[in-house]
Chain A
Amino acid sequence: MSTRFSIEEILETVSMLNVENLDIRTITMGINIMECRDSDGDKTGRKIYDKITHYAKNLVKVGEEIEKEYGIRIVNKRVAVSPVALVGEGLGREDFLRIGQYLDKAAEEIGVNFLGGFSALVHKGFTRGDLALIDAIPETLALTERVCASVNVGTTRSGINMDAVYQMGKTIKETAHLTRDRDGIGCAKLVVFCNAVEDNPFMAGAFHGTGEPECTINIGISGPGVVLNVVRKHPDADLGTLANIIKNTAFKITRMGELVGRVASRKLNVPFGIVDLSLAPTPALGDSVANILEAMGLEKVGSHGSTAALAMLNDAVKKGGAMASSYVGGLSGAFIPVSEDAGMIEAAREGALTIDKLEAMTSVCSVGLDMIAVPGDTPFYTIAAIIADEAAIGMINRKTTAVRIIPAPGKKAGEWVEFGGLLGRAPVMPVNPHSAENFINRKGRIPAPIQALNN
């Protein structure tokens, strides 16, 4: 009997897994907790704890089994729950704090490093539950290790809730202050969205949306190293040819996500949700989206041409990946988090990459201004204005955008923040010193945009 694969095919795959850091970034179990509501935060929290620890008790074990059986690294096993503001509607701030602590305890019990869903959807306005949850975010992120929070402040269909943008500017400042002894790490667990998706497996923005089933498995793939390697092998290919090469590679990477998703779904007896086609970098050498753009021909990411290169990369990844999976969803695109990508860190340190260029790049990729450290004395209205800009890009372009920004307490531009692990380290980047205070103080709503006359 002969091998059904050529040696070249086999060695290509082995090299992807062993040299180019191809891995499954996350298996995220989404769990509906809407039924866990009880009369107060303690009782509600306990029910949520019981449900999560019951549903996800084998998540880590099954993930490790798959790693062993298939020889594929699965970096993170995580859980996303229904937006907690919906579950706790009518409860007060103290109740949400209790629920946050139960979520943290549940995450610890089942052995996941992050749990998402301490979330509110306020794109058109606040309910009382939303306000109480947002009020509880800073303290929750300071008191817990593993809980991640997100707030959706805008959508293409409803416009941008500028009251929420104002509020989130203050919330981020408060969160940084309460975690000031750890470079404001609380802010690394807080995402402000426009057009948030319901099945995103990636943290910190994952939550289990209201259109989702009782329980589901979503997969986030990785593989910037694989794409980087293939781009480096073709230094003279024209961009159309290069796009095709990236598409082929994205297809192969995504197939592995599809395989792991199917196996995990079968072993856990939970329906398979989606594969998220994102290129998610890590601080590891060679696992960088920035380096791909540089291999495409940019001296440093952030130079002129970065937006075009990223647009092509992002589109090619989607085209290749979409063919490889039965169900594609989540954020699906290239991530450009500064602190989690060695090439981004380097470009920011050298001043080649500025917040303004990053903002432009987010208009063609997922997901937004991610893991950016700014000076600790940045006023709340400047943070809010950065959120408003990013939300506007998402709203007008009918795409998800997000802001995960850390006003590093006591730090000035050029200094460093250190979070360690997957969250990485980043140089503090300067912000525009001119004020948007009066604009932010107007509050209100930016109306939904017209969907025709696209120019």
Chain B
Amino acid sequence: MEEGKRLIITVLGHDRVGIIAGISSILAEANINILDINQTILQGFFAMVMVVDSSQSRLDIGELRRRLHEKGRELGLEITVQHEDIFKFMHRI
């Protein structure tokens, strides 16, 4: 897989039915492959981190972010989309 095309999507909020379905359908429509999903409950909040491969994406990252934010509003969740390099630079030398 092409380096530098991996995105990290984080989802924060109250747990409810349909979070993963709602988000993964947007990703599937955009032809973005989910590489890894990790979820946990932090201080009572639902926290999910997804690593995705956007190298074959039909959407540019701005549009993807917009659609996920919209979905986040609908489900009452905070969703962020960030390039993997940020985490590489901050947490790995």
Instruction: List residues of A whose CB falls within 8 A of some B CB.
Output: 1-5, 7, 9-11, 13-14, 17-18, 68-72, 252, 255-256, 258-259
Known contacts A2-B36, A3-B36, A68-B61; A255/B83 CB under 8 A: no
Interface footprint category on B? 20 to 34
Q: How far is the CA of A202 from the CA of B90 in the complex (A)?
A: 23
Q: Is the CB of B83 within 8 A of A10?
A: no
Q: How far is the CB of A70 from chain B (nearest CB, A)?
A: 4
- List CB contacts (< 8 Å) of B26-54 with chain A: 35-36, 38, 40, 42, 47, 49, 51
Q: Is the CB of B51 within 8 A of A3?
A: yes
Q: Is the CB of B89 within 8 A of A255?
A: yes
Q: Nearest 4 pairs between A and B by C-beta?
A: A255-B89, A71-B82, A259-B89, A70-B83
B23 interfacial by beta-carbon distance below 8 Å: no
B62 interfacial by beta-carbon distance below 8 Å: yes
B65 interfacial by beta-carbon distance below 8 Å: yes
Q: What residue of chain B has the Cβ atom nearest to residue A323's Cβ?
A: B93
Q: Is the CB of B86 within 8 A of A72?
A: yes
B92 proximity list for chain A (CB < 8 A): 4
A-B contact pairs, 23 of them (CB 8 A): A1-B36, A3-B38, A3-B49, A7-B40, A7-B42, A7-B47, A10-B10, A11-B49, A13-B82, A13-B87, A17-B86, A68-B65, A69-B83, A70-B86, A71-B65, A71-B81, A71-B82, A71-B83, A71-B86, A255-B90, A256-B86, A256-B89, A256-B90
Q: Is the CB of B10 within 8 A of A70?
A: no
Q: Is the CB of B87 within 8 A of A5?
A: yes
B57 interfacial by beta-carbon distance below 8 Å: no
Q: How far is the CB of B7 from chain A (nearest CB, A)?
A: 9
Q: How far is the CA of A69 from the CA of B86 in the complex (A)?
A: 11
Q: How far is the CB of A434 from chain B (nearest CB, A)?
A: 51
B86 proximity list for chain A (CB < 8 A): 13, 17, 70-72, 256, 259
- In terms of DSSP, what is the predominant structure of the interface of chain A? helix
- List CB contacts (< 8 Å) of B44-93 with chain A: 47, 49, 51, 60-62, 65, 78, 80-83, 85-87, 89-92
Q: How far is the CB of A286 from chain B (nearest CB, A)?
A: 18
* Residue among B49, B62, B65, B85 making CB contact with A10, cutoff 8 Å: B49
Q: How far is the CA of A357 from the CA of B16 in the complex (A)?
A: 54
Q: How far is the CA of A9 from the CA of B49 in the complex (A)?
A: 11
Query: Apart from A71-B61, A71-B86, what 17 extra A-B contacts exist at CB < 8 Å?
Result: A2-B36, A3-B49, A5-B8, A5-B91, A7-B40, A7-B49, A9-B87, A10-B87, A68-B65, A70-B82, A70-B86, A71-B82, A255-B89, A256-B86, A256-B90, A259-B86, A259-B89
Q: What residue of chain A has the Cβ atom nearest to residue B7's Cβ?
A: A71
Q: Is the CB of B36 within 8 A of A11?
A: no
B83 proximity list for chain A (CB < 8 A): 69-71
Q: How far is the CA of A365 from the CA of B62 in the complex (A)?
A: 39
Q: How far is the CA of A10 from the CA of B12 in the complex (A)?
A: 12
Q: What residue of chain B has the Cβ atom nearest to residue A68's Cβ?
A: B62
Q: Is the CB of A18 within 8 A of B80?
A: yes
Q: How far is the CA of A258 from the CA of B89 in the complex (A)?
A: 8
Q: How far is the CB of A21 from chain B (nearest CB, A)?
A: 15
Q: How far is the CB of B78 from chain A (nearest CB, A)?
A: 8
Q: Is the CB of A9 within 8 A of B91?
A: yes
Q: How far is the CB of A223 from chain B (nearest CB, A)?
A: 12
Q: How far is the CA of A4 from the CA of B38 in the complex (A)?
A: 11
* Residue among A13, A14, A69, A71 making CB contact with B91, cutoff 8 Å: A13
* Residue among B42, B62, B85 making CB contact with A259, cutoff 8 Å: B85
Q: How far is the CB of A17 from chain B (nearest CB, A)?
A: 7
Q: How far is the CA of A252 from the CA of B10 in the complex (A)?
A: 19
Q: How far is the CB of B81 from chain A (nearest CB, A)?
A: 6
B65 proximity list for chain A (CB < 8 A): 68, 71
B60 proximity list for chain A (CB < 8 A): 68
Q: How far is the CB of B11 from chain A (nearest CB, A)?
A: 10
Q: Is the CB of B10 within 8 A of A14?
A: yes
* Residue among B36, B51, B90 making CB contact with A13, cutoff 8 Å: B90
Q: How far is the CA of A40 from the CA of B85 in the complex (A)?
A: 49
Q: How far is the CA of A11 from the CA of B38 in the complex (A)?
A: 12
Q: How far is the CA of A68 from the CA of B60 in the complex (A)?
A: 9
A70 proximity list for chain B (CB < 8 A): 82-83, 85-86
Q: How far is the CB of A287 from chain B (nearest CB, A)?
A: 19
Q: How far is the CB of A441 from chain B (nearest CB, A)?
A: 54
Q: How far is the CB of B37 from chain A (nearest CB, A)?
A: 9
Q: How far is the CB of B69 from chain A (nearest CB, A)?
A: 11
Known contacts A70-B85, A255-B89, A255-B90; A14/B80 CB under 8 A: yes
B36 proximity list for chain A (CB < 8 A): 1-3
B47 proximity list for chain A (CB < 8 A): 7, 11
* Residue among B49, B61, B78 making CB contact with A69, cutoff 8 Å: B61
Q: How far is the CA of A69 from the CA of B61 in the complex (A)?
A: 6
Q: How far is the CB of B45 from chain A (nearest CB, A)?
A: 10
Q: How far is the CB of A43 from chain B (nearest CB, A)?
A: 42
